[in-house]
Copies of this chain bind each other. A is one copy, B any other.
Amino acid sequence: MIDKQNASPAAAVADIFDGATVMVGGFGEAGSPIELIHALIDQGAGNLTVINNNTGSGHVGLAALIENKQVGKMICSFPRTANSTVFPDLYRAGEIELELVPQGTLAERIRAGGAGIPAFYTATTVGTPLAEGKETRCFDGRDYVMEVGLKADFALIKCSKADRYGNLVYSKTARNFSPVMATAAAITIAQAGAVVEAGALDPEVIITPGIFVDRLVEIFDPEQESRLVAAGRSYP
C-alpha cells in the first residue's frame, strides 16, 4: 500500500545532503514550511542552494537557516525584508551568494524544471541589467531572453491537507510557489495540516497530484512565522 507519511519532520529531512539544492515553498510567511525548515536546521546540512521568493523574517524559519550558515547561495526575487537583516548582513560580508531572478521568471523556471522543459523565452528583463549575459532572440519583432529550467534535489512545502498518496490542497495564497516546486524536485517533502483518508479530497480540487509528492509529515498546528517574529523568538 502506498503511504507517504513520515513519522516526524526529522525523519523526512534526514537525507538532505551538504551541497543540495532545496526549494522552499512560501511567499513571506504564507505557505512557509517552518517545521520542516527547523528540522533541517537541526539536521545541519550545509552549503545548500536555497530557492525561495524571499530570504525570511526575523530569526526563525528560512532566516534562521541562513543565519545558521547552512545556505551558500540563494536564488530569489526579493532578498530584502523589513524585519530581517540576516541575509543582507551575510551578503555584504561576502558569505552568501545571490542569484536574483524576477518573480515570474522564477516561477516559470521552476515550472519548466518540473515539466521537462530545459529552456524557454520571456520578454521579462529585456533591456535591463538582469538580461546581461543571457541569450536574446527576436520573435515576431519583439526581443526575448532565454531562461533555463530550475530543478532541485529536495522541495520543502506546506499544504493544508493531504492524503496518503500525497495529493495536496492548500489554503488561499499560501499556495504560491509550492505546486510548481513539488514538480521540480527529485524528492518533495510536504508538511500537511491534516492527512485525510484516500478519497476524502475531491479529485476536482486536488492542486498537487500525489505523483509529485514523496514524503508527508502531519503538523496539526503549525507555527506562524509572524507570531514567532513578533515574540522575538529565534531558532534553534
A120-B116 contact given A169-B204, A204-B169, CB 8 Å threshold: no
The answer to whether the Cβ of A11 comes within 8 Å of any Cβ in the partner chain is no
Residue with the greatest number of chain B CB neighbours at <10 A, chosen from A108, A142, A170, A203:
A108
Residue with the greatest number of chain B CB neighbours at <10 A, chosen from A112, A123, A171, A204:
A204
25 contacts between A and B (CB under 8 A): A108-B115, A108-B117, A112-B120, A116-B122, A116-B123, A117-B120, A117-B121, A117-B122, A118-B121, A118-B139, A118-B140, A118-B142, A119-B120, A119-B121, A119-B137, A119-B139, A120-B120, A120-B121, A139-B148, A169-B204, A170-B204, A171-B204, A172-B204, A202-B205, A204-B205
Residues of A within 8 A of B (CB): 108, 112, 115-123, 137, 139-140, 142, 144, 148, 169-172, 202-205
Known: A108-B117, A118-B140, A202-B205. 19 other contacts (CB 8 A): A108-B115, A112-B120, A117-B120, A118-B121, A118-B139, A118-B142, A119-B120, A119-B121, A119-B139, A119-B144, A120-B120, A120-B121, A139-B148, A169-B204, A170-B204, A172-B203, A172-B204, A204-B205, A205-B205
